[in-house]
Structure 1
Amino acid sequence: MATAPDTSGFKIIVADSKDAYQWRTVASLAEPGMPADAWIGNACLMDHDHAAAVYAPRTFVNKPDVMQGGAFTAVVNLTTGTVKKLPFTASLAYFDPSCNSATHTAVFSAFRDDKTHLVTVTTAGKLTADATTIGQMTSAVPVKDGLVAALGHQLVHVDSSGRNVKDLAPQLTAHRSTSGPPGVARSRSSTTTEAPPAPGCGTGTGSSPKWRRASSATSPSHKAIPARCSSPATPPEPTASPAAESPASTRRPARTSPPSAVSS
């Protein structure tokens, strides 16, 4: 099964091995009398013969209210082409709808006022669960005893009523709350360490210069960058010439005159 946007409707197309995988359109989803330059949507397989779909005019994606809960919904029989339109709307989010081919069900999501409306249906279009939960639950998948979904950084199970929400990974949730989401680097711009003065920086009246760690956005290698000197530079003390510092062992002895002859 595949889908395709079109000016006349959102196309559900299939290809069978017995027909040498030749593509054919089994359904074109649209609403009569509603103007649209193109009909778009998403679909998933409930089983070999049924698909769940959401569809809407392309311009719905430019309006947050209808994008998050105004798309039309349907169940399509992929063998006969029969379309069962459902009496509720859903979002155009990439994860909507979500199907489970083991339970032959699909769940549709809609978002309003920080609440999520989750509706589960069978291949016949019959509602088996209708729940409203607090917060935005995304990527919901139907299971035998409810739904499994993402709620913030939690993986949760929701019963068919929507009243009982259980964290399926509490240890992972506790870890993320202290260490942050995996794969997201923490900012290190506030970390500073003392370092020896940079060349030309004095340490007389001011403190030694700080060395700050560059952010990953500007310096992926995280090299240390010296900050500006916090005190005026102090001129270096004069050093003795090499000749004056020559070790005594390398000095040549002074020439002495031979002793004078003593006459008798």
Structure 2
Amino acid sequence: MFKRFTSICIAIALTQTAHAFDLGAMVNAGKDLTTAATLSDSDTKKLASEASVHYDKDNSVAPVSNPYAKRLAKLTRGMKTENGLKLNIKVYLVQDINAFAMADGTVRVFSGLMDKMTDDEVRYVIGHEIGHVSLGHSKKALQTAYVTSAARKAGGATGNGLVALTDSALGDLTEKLVHAQFSQSQESDADQFALKLMKANRYDPKAAVTALRKLESMYGNDKSMFSSHPAPGDRATDLEKQI
């Protein structure tokens, strides 16, 4: 169904372009793209929250009684907040090997990834995704996606600093957030963040390496395939030196 980079920390998990959106207006209109490019933290969280709510509607979220949900709740027991941001971590019952986080604290892990990884390996992936949020990468990705979508705005200005989007533009925005691609330096920084989180919580830091090695075994370590993104094997080697 897919095969492309995703926000998953490894930047190599091939993910499905999830289902089509039919969304209503999400934000009030602002004046121009310059305004859209300078979203406040409040605006960013609002957009991320609306996007994640609608994305949940188009994917199968595991109920609390589901074995995947129970496992995730157990392994994330120590991951309730990050820098004051409340985390909302759930499982999508989708067999893609994927995970993502948004600026409002939304974290979604796909059941396909959980099938392939141990608890500590899943913790590493989640830690990396949280790293993108904590380090501001997710906000920058949202700004970029929002400006692109705002170019197709429909409506006037109300002065609230946000541009009203058509349903198609809003769907496009949400897809870009979920499938955000980060730079090599951002991926490396998020790796470092995840490793520190693993050590601070006394999780096995070697799981960061084994998670990347698993992805390398599934998808290879071809640098040309990943463009500016570091290949999983190279990232595993870098992390291994720090353990």
- TM-score calculated relative to the size of structure 2: 0.24
* Structure (1 or 2) with the larger CA radius of gyration: 1
Structure (1 or 2) with the greater strand fraction: 1
- TM-score calculated relative to the size of structure 1: 0.23
Structure with larger RCO (C-alpha < 8 A, sep 6+): 2
